[in-house]
Amino acid sequence: MRKLIGLFWLLCICAVATAQTASSAASDEALLAKARGLYDAPFTRNLISFDCAVQFDWKQHFLEFMKAIPPDALQTVEQLQGVQHRVFVDRSGAVVSAVPKAPDFGEAPRAAQLEKVFDGMVSGGLSGWLPSSMGELLPVAPTKYDFERIDSGYRLTMHGTGVAATLLLNPDLRLTSGVVQLPQPMRFTIEFAAGPSGYLLQSVKTSSTSDPETAGEAGFAYTYQTVQGFELPSAVTVSPSTTEPWHYSLSDCKTVAGIMLKVAPPPKP
């Protein structure tokens, strides 16, 4: 009889634990769904791609950090200012191109070098915005996750293949900071503001966790414009950890919208 009673209680305890685990999982799932619905992620709302003209003031860039343009650099600045650019952005990244085509900087290697850096700053700034625009700052399947209620809001831990991080969110479910172990060790702070379609990424600052004493801080900042119903960046500031900030703006933006169809691979013979 005692064995039967003991078995009965063991089964009850297991059933309660299983129910609590299932309840916790359901609660986490509902909380994640709620959080996702609060953020503006245009690539989850039928945005396929967009392209914009890029404006960058080379003279202002030099004046901001050198106070004056050296006489021997004036021709280089004028050459660079004469190049027009557009940037194409989709889920795979951002690609910058000169319009109609890049000039021959064969006799001006410094101009060619600066043009290459500029392309990297423009594409890098928009690539920094992409995870937010695709709804990928929060966990996506099959990554496992767990919400914990804390005094400042929520602690969200996530782990999966090649992914491991701890995120902090305010009570209103705005992401505020995090520490990432995988795929690359780093820490970050992040700010969102309310927009017409949800929280918009305002800024993010990142630094390495491998050597906090010497690691510099890099950052991105964004303002927005409405283009055909989508909130897209209008001005971007890229602040590398080792060089001066770069400021550029986007105009004459054109979007492509529709439903992305995933085509299954053909069956193996």
Task: Identify the residue with better confidence: 201 or 21.
Answer: 201
pLDDT tens digits for range 97-154: 998 877 777 777 888 889 999 999 999 999 999 999 999 999 988 999 999 999 999 9
pLDDT tens digits for range 237-261: 999 988 889 999 999 999 999 876 5
Kindly state the DSSP code that residue 71 receives in the 8-state scheme.
G
Collapse the DSSP code of 37 into the 3-class scheme (helix H, G, I; strand E, B; otherwise coil) and give the result. helix
Query: According to the model, what pLDDT value does residue 228 have?
Result: 96
Query: According to the model, what pLDDT value does residue 216 have?
Result: 77
pLDDT tens digits for range 216-237: 789 999 999 999 999 999 999 9
As a whole number, mean pLDDT of residues 67-75 equals 82
Query: According to the model, what pLDDT value does residue 17 have?
Result: 32
Mean residue pLDDT of the chain comes to 85
Task: Identify the residue with better confidence: 166 or 267.
Answer: 166
Work out the pLDDT band at 10, boundaries 50, 70, 90.
Answer: very low
As a whole number, mean pLDDT of residues 179-195 equals 93
Query: According to the model, what pLDDT value does residue 62 have?
Result: 87
Task: Identify the residue with better confidence: 177 or 184.
Answer: 177
pLDDT tens digits for range 197-212: 999 999 999 988 766 5
Beta strand residue intervals within the chain, DSSP E: 47-55, 84-90, 93-99, 144-150, 153-160, 163-169, 175-182, 186-195, 198-207, 218-227, 230-239, 246-257
Roughly what angle, to the nearest 10 degrees, separates helices 109-133 and 74-81? Answer: 50
d(CA 73, CA 62): 10
Query: According to the model, what pLDDT value does residue 16 have?
Result: 29
Residue 224 contacts residue 238 (beta carbons within 8 Å): no
d(CA 168, CA 188): 10
Collapse the DSSP code of 10 into the 3-class scheme (helix H, G, I; strand E, B; otherwise coil) and give the result. helix
